Amino acid sequence: MRMNNPPHPGEVLRELCLEPLGLSVTDAAGALGVARKTLSAILNGRSGISPEMAIRLGKAFDTSPESWLNQQVQYDLWEAGRHAKKLHVKKLVAA
């Protein structure tokens, strides 16, 4: 079941992981082993959670990588669904 208007995973990461620990973007990026620019793009909703990033987040915050990827899929599906009426697709059925 899809959520209605789910938050971008970067928002969840910022509010539930970084802020409670008092982590700056620079410190969190260093701990995750990624560039500050990479993490900043995720936190600001300009980039999504990749499978590799999901594993990094899972290790860093003792969460499952699947939870991060599921958040990303829910967000992506909701975003795509907002534009579904513009898609021109013909229904395919067996003859």
Say what the pLDDT of residue 24 is.
98
Q: What is the pLDDT along the chain (95 residues), one digit of tens a residue?
A: 556 889 999 999 999 999 999 999 999 999 999 999 999 999 999 999 999 999 999 999 999 999 999 999 999 999 999 988 899 999 999 98
Question: Closest Cα to residue 35, out of 44, 22, 26, 43?
Answer: 26
Say what the pLDDT of residue 3 is.
60
- Give the residue extent of every domain in the chain: 9-86
Sign, CA torsion 25/23/19/56: positive
Say what the pLDDT of residue 54 is.
98
Class of 9-86 in CATH: mainly alpha
